[in-house]
Structure 1
């Protein structure tokens, strides 16, 4: 009985490992960057919404990190969708590259504005709400057009 249970557990573990994305592939790199962007954005929004204590230095550092991250994932979207690319991106990413790139630039502009706003000391949460909302709106706009939910 123990050997059958161990064998079943081993099979499940091996099958779970087969579903992994190569972290060095374009898809793996995109996913890592987007997850890092999400964590940074959630921390900033959390500080403004009272879910996390507002920390001026952490907020400023987080805005710099988010701005830097926002400029990176686009290089990992090849011109043509790679076979086996099991991402959450719709085919429209590759079919409507001009629009996709436009939305990427809008996100970069929004994170740049947030970064600038977060450098003006002392930081006041109410002055950061609009730039954070603009970043969140840029993310949402791209997701609505190009992400599979």
Structure 2
């Protein structure tokens, strides 16, 4: 009897947690996946420059290229009208101030393109990458400060 109660409680908790998930095919789910990929990639690049990770020129170049490619993807997953979904960390201002939001998106794309170009110069030298990485991080932070709910 006790085993069935415990099993029921575990099943109920699993169902409750499962219901809170975002549909990965929804616009919200798609942009969250891209943003998580962007975060992981930029953290790895910054980690290589700051000594948290071992610097690997080939991996850095691949990461910079990947970051540049995915930096252009999340914007298409912001519908014209805000979704009524929990789980979004976007402020209403994303939809109310589209011109500014798009401006910051273009600034991020420009900074990742600059980083990608810097990462193509061989031999790769860490000091030449510090400013481009800082610009990417600043572009991310600027958009988060204006448009993300913390």
Give the TM-score normalised by structure 2. Answer: 0.98
Cα-Cα RMSD = 0.6
* Structure 1 equivalent of residue 118 of structure 2: 117
* Structure 1 equivalent of residue 69 of structure 2: 68
Unaligned runs of 5+ in 2: none
Q: How does 1:1-149 map to 2 (within 5 A)?
A: 1-84=2-85, 86-149=87-150
Distance in 2, matches of 1:90 and 1:106, equals: 19
CA-to-aligned-CA distance 1:54-88 (integer Å, 9 cap, x gap): 00000000000000010000000011102225300
Residue correspondences, number: 149
Change (3 A) 1:5 1:85: closer
Distance in 1, matches of 2:87 and 2:8, equals: 29
Q: Is the 8 A contact 1:107 1:135 kept in 2?
A: yes
Q: Tell me which stretches of 4 or more aligned residues in structure 1 moved more than 3 Å.
A: none
Distance in 1, matches of 2:132 and 2:86, equals: 33
Give the TM-score normalised by structure 1. Answer: 0.99
